[in-house]
């Protein structure tokens, strides 16, 4: 392709997708076509993971990190409500909850673990799939895959352990259609934030990789790229100790020649052909290894109408924003209409604006491809209004006053979002230009930006959870009306997500408790051998 043609085509798939999403109609859902919400490799050799990392072992820490990503960690007692927050007239339900939010609670993301020799102890070198229902690793294929994965990452060091996050597209798209691709990308970013937080708590330094040759990583994992594809790679460094890594590990070509365990059937449907599929193909085809421009050139600039500046509230001290697996509150019936402490908002903003280890230029110093906007309704010491947050200077720049901020509720919103807005104290709104980086990164810019949007809202959620607050993502809040209020209309910028924050309703209809670990021994015969397995129900 001629360079001029290539430049003109950069971002074309993104533009077509964005235009279609602006004009999408109501959902038409065939619940009979819903796939299962997790996959299995039923004939694979299984390694039981420790339920907790109390022994300090590397395997225990990896198990706890995986559990904090995708495990069954909460029991949620839920009185069923309609979209208006009123009782639906149906019996209450006891649900199993996962640690991190997912669009529609559909959990489209799977995790694969590549372990090398000779660490972690107790886990032979192989590629594994994490089964969250049974908290086990299923051996997909033998051999040290860590070196082959590192060779597919730009300047990627040989990791002790690598975790690949993949998407089962139909799991979200059967309900949301092409819009499900946006939700999947943001959910991947949510899980990256979760992994960074859990890894920090467990002493497993973690780095995220969002740019790699998709097809080669998919082949290494035994994925077809149509039903399921890799979206992000996490590399982990284990605590010191034990022997070093071997000098050589099998090449990717050698590994993909080895047999792969069979997955459970029926298989999910492939991604439906359409604009999302075209965007995913364009994202996968664009995986440059570097940026010729300085990191600061990629960050969004505030709109020209940004006004007076306020110092951001000083963050509350002593905040330990762990994964919050058992305490995360995502209220269905809205919030108590009480003010948010300024120090609490300061902690949420500080968490969202921190740098993070990733292969995006400039990510180490703060969000690299998104900006942080704030809608404040009830915050002590901060006038009602819309703001642009500058994490480097810890300042809030006014975008609109009190007379405009309530207009957000007049946009195209779902009923449950309108209910939540009645009592919410504030909303964090990541914003960015969906095509600005296409000339450098192609259509993959869209995917990277959506992932960072998910990452920053999850970091804000973790800080809110540590403070006893509630937070819920309302994707429909990122719309044209919100853009008008924020002063983004008429600029290349647009809202990317919408996180409401507030005080959970006391004695409300949703109560979450940690999932207890009930242990029993089970002997499972397997061909000519017997495996003793410890199951956690």
pLDDT class for 241, splitting at 50, 70, 90? low
Quick one: 152 and 299 in the same domain? Answer: no
Tokens found for residue 142: 């033998």
Query: How confident is the model over 346-402, as pLDDT tens digits?
Result: 999 999 999 999 999 899 999 999 999 999 999 999 999 999 999 999 999 999 999
User: What's the CATH number where 415 sits?
Assistant: 3.40.109.10
Q: Which two tokens stand for residue 150?
A: 């590192």
- 462 touches 197 (CB < 8 A): yes
Q: Is the residue at 27 inside a domain?
A: no
Domain co-membership, 370 together with 270? no
Q: What is the pLDDT of residue 96?
A: 75
Residue 95 falls inside a structural domain: no
Judge if 343 and 458 occupy the same domain.
yes
pLDDT for 427 equals: 98
Q: What pLDDT shows up at residue 324? A: 47
| pTM of the complete model | 0.90
Decide if 96 is inside a domain: no
CA 81, CA 84: separation in Å to the nearest integer? 8
Residues 502 and 523 in one domain: no
- Mean pLDDT score, 494-521: 72
Q: Classify 56 in phi/psi space as left (phi over 0), alpha (psi -120 to 50) or beta.
A: left
Identify the CA nearest to 365 among candidates 265, 438, 282, 298.
Answer: 298
- Whether 217 and 347 map to the same domain: the answer is no
pLDDT score recorded for residue 315:
92
256 and 373, same structural domain?
Answer: no
Domain assignment present for residue 478? The answer is yes
DSSP state of 394: T
Give yes or no: residues 378 and 239 share one domain. no
Q: Is residue 496 part of a domain?
A: yes
Rounded distance between C-alpha atoms, residue 172 and residue 107, angstroms: 8
Residue 416 has pLDDT above 60, yes or no: yes
Domain containing 409: what range?
A: 295-506
Kindly indicate the confidence band of residue 297, based on its pLDDT and cuts at 50, 70 and 90.
Answer: confident
Same domain? For 283 and 307 the reply is no
> 10 Å Cβ neighbour count for 477?
25
| Number of domains present in the structure of the chain | 2
């Amino acid at each position: 392709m001629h360079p001029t043609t290539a430049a003109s085509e950069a971002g074309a798939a993104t533009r077509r997708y964005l235009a279609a999403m602006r004009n999408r109609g109501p959902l038409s859902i065939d619940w009979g076509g819903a796939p299962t919400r997790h996959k299995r490799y039923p004939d694979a050799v299984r390694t039981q993971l420790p339920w907790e990392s109390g022994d300090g072992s590397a395997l225990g820490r990896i198990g706890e990190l995986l559990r904090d990503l995708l495990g069954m960690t909460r029991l949620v007692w839920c009185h069923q409500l309609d979209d208006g927050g009123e009782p639906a007239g149906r019996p209450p339900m006891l649900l199993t909850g996962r640690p991190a939010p997912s669009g529609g609670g559909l959990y489209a993301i799977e995790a694969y673990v590549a372990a090398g020799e000779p660490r972690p102890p107790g886990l032979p070198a192989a590629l594994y799939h994490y089964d969250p229902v049974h908290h086990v690793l299923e051996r997909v294929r033998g051999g040290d895959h860590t070196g082959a994965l590192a060779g597919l990452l730009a300047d990627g060091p040989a990791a002790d352990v690598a975790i690949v996050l993949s998407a089962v597209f139909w799991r979200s798209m059967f309900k949301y259609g092409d819009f499900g691709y946006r939700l999947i990308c943001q959910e991947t970013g949510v899980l990256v934030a979760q992994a960074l937080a859990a890894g920090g708590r467990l002493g497993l330094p973690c780095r995220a990789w969002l740019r790699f040759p998709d097809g080669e990583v998919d082949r290494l994992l035994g994925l077809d790229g149509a039903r399921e594809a890799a979206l992000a790679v996490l590399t982990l460094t284990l605590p010191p100790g034990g022997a070093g890594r071997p000098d050589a590990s099998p090449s990717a070509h050698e590994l993909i020649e080895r047999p792969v365990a069979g997955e459970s059937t029926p298989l999910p449907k492939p991604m439906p052909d359409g604009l999302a599929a075209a965007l995913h193909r364009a994202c996968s085809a664009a995986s440059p290894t570097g940026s010729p421009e300085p990191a600061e050139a990629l960050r969004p600039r505030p709109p020209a109408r940004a006004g007076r500046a306020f110092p951001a509230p000083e963050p509350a001290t002593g905040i330990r924003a762990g994964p919050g697996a058992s305490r995360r509150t995502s209220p269905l019936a809205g919030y108590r209409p009480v003010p948010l402490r300024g120090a609490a908002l300061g902690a949420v903003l500080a968490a969202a604006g921190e740098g993070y280890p990733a292969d995006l230029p400039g990510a180490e110093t703060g969000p690299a491809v998104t900006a942080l906007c704030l809608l404040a309704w009830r915050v002590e010491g901060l006038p009602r209004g819309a703001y642009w947050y500058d994490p480097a200077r810890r300042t809030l720049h006014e975008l609109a006053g009190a007379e405009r901020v309530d207009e957000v509720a007049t946009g195209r919103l779902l009923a449950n979002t309108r209910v939540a807005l009645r009592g919410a104290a504030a909303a964090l709104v990541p914003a960015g230009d969906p095509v600005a980086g296409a000339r450098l990164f192609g259509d993959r810019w869209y995917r990277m930006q959506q992932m960072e949007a998910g990452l920053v809202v999850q970091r804000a959620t973790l800080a809110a959870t540590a403070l006893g607050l509630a937070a819920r993502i309302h994707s429909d809040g990122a719309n044209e009306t919100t853009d008008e209020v924020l002063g983004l209309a008429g600029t290349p910028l647009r809202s990317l997500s919408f996180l409401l924050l507030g005080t959970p309703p006391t004695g409300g209809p949703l109560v979450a408790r940690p999932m207890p670990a009930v242990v029993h021994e089970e002997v499972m015969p397997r061909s000519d051998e017997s495996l003793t397995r410890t199951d956690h129900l």
